[in-house]
Amino acid sequence: MAPEVANFALEHPPALDRSTAAGRSVLERRTIHIPDLREDPEYSWHGGQGERLGQYRTVLGVPLLRDGKPFGAFALLRGAPKPFSDKQIELVTTFADQAAIAIENTRLFEAEQASKLELQEALDYQTATSEVLNVISRSKFDLQPVLDSIAQTASGLCELADTAIMLREGNQLRTAAHYGSISTGGPWRRPSLWAE
């Protein structure tokens, strides 16, 4: 496929309608074989631009199915008006089935990884909360260890480069706890600078 045809395909993906073999295969949930585009009045990928640019005449569309429901398609193009053989169609259908299995396995794996990540995140949050509560219980009359623990824990959980807890004193904010490598610029800040 020439680069301009590949670019055209990326910019004008086939619609989910009967104007392409891929679109029909998804709509009808079956293989669509068009031996010669010039004899198919419905075929008209982007107003006929696709086939003129690509200079192809024979098309095969094979749906990708998951539990009988289409989620994509294979599209095979041939320059000459030469029909695909039954064996070729059978082979491509097998490839489509294998691709559907591979795509589903990848989707399931990604869902499992996301679930594991969510569970790990929940455990991390619960552990962090427990640690902060532990510091609170040990520091009933000393606020500083509690604020330091909260700043450090928030920095770790949120993957932050720096965390500061500011307390208002009159018309200014005082850095009460800090964790990270970025300088807070001193212990005092005006509240207007921290409005956001």
Q: What integer is the mean pLDDT of 13-39?
A: 93
Is residue 65 over pLDDT 70? yes
Is residue 91 over pLDDT 70? yes
Helices (H) and strands (E) in the chain, counts: 5, 6
Instruction: Of 105-114, 163-172, 180-189, give the lowest mean pLDDT range.
Output: 180-189
Q: Which CATH architecture has domain 3-84?
A: 2-Layer Sandwich (3.30)
Q: What residues does CATH 3.30.450.40 cover in the chain?
A: 3-84
Is residue 196 over pLDDT 50? no
Q: What integer is the mean pLDDT of 143-155?
A: 87
**What is the reported pLDDT for 195?**
45
Summarize pLDDT for 167-184 with one digit per residue, the tens. 888 888 888 898 887 765
Contact 37, 51 (CB under 8 A): yes
Question: Of 63, 59, 61, 52, whose CA–CA distance to 34 is shortest?
Answer: 59
Is residue 124 over pLDDT 60? yes
Question: What three-state secondary structure class fits 27?
Answer: helix
Say how far apart CA 153 and CA 176 lie, in whole Å: 15
Contact 160, 180 (CB under 8 A): yes
Structure tokens at 178: 């800090």
**What is the reported pLDDT for 1?**
67
Q: What is the side-by-side order of every strand in the sheet holding 32-34?
A: 32-34, 58-66, 69-78
